[in-house]
Amino acid sequence: MKHNENKTLILGIGNYLMGDEGVGVHTALQLQELDLPDYVEVVDGGTGGFHLLEYFENHEHVILIDATLGGEQPGQIRLIKPRFAKDFPRAMSTHDIGLKDMVSALQWMEKMPDIRLFVVSIESIQQQGIEMTPKVKAVIPDLMHRVLQLAHEIEKDKISQGKLLELVIG
């Protein structure tokens, strides 16, 4: 699998078969249907796992999308810029391996990318079914917009830094 490390990775995490818990995957799949800018790569990360390490190692910038049981109103979107494993919300019981474990491994290997995490609050983990609750399903268009806006801002920053570097070196 060839990756372009110059692209910003958008990675949706969650279990598609467990209702709201799959909001990250549902969002990634809907993003893949769009005509996206060439500076992004969108991946359905499923329930996580160490197989995703390769994606983190091969991208300088990663935007994660995941559900959280934080007690906030269902459908609330928050953007977190985690720097350490402890900054991530606790793992959902359905994920094979939590994001905290993955981040710890990346830090240990000294391959930690710049990670931004969009979390969507959910009320509970439904046991089965791909249908999300109306409150969570309703925020996906706004979430997609915010994710793509952030990817655009990251790309603008990369271009600005590149031009600055040219001025300094050139």
- Find the DSSP H helices in the chain: 23-32, 53-57, 99-108, 134-137, 140-169
DSSP-derived 3-state class of residue 62 = strand
Grouped pLDDT means (10 residues each) for the chain, 170 residues: 75 90 95 96 86 86 90 91 71 55 76 89 80 95 98 92 68
Q: Phi and psi dihedrals of 42, rounded to 5?
A: -110, 130
Strand partners, 77: 120
Amino acid at 88: F
Read off the pTM.
0.86
Query: What does the pLDDT read at residue 96?
Result: 46
- Please state at what angle helix 23-32 crosses helix 140-169, rounded to 10 degrees: 70
What tokens were used for 165?
A: 């570097």
Q: Torsion angle, CA of 128/130/135/136, rounded to 10 degrees?
A: 100
Domains of the chain: 8-169 (3.40.50.1450)
Query: What does the pLDDT read at residue 75?
Result: 95
DSSP-derived 3-state class of residue 68 = strand
| Angle at CA of residue 73, ends 70 and 75, nearest 5° | 95
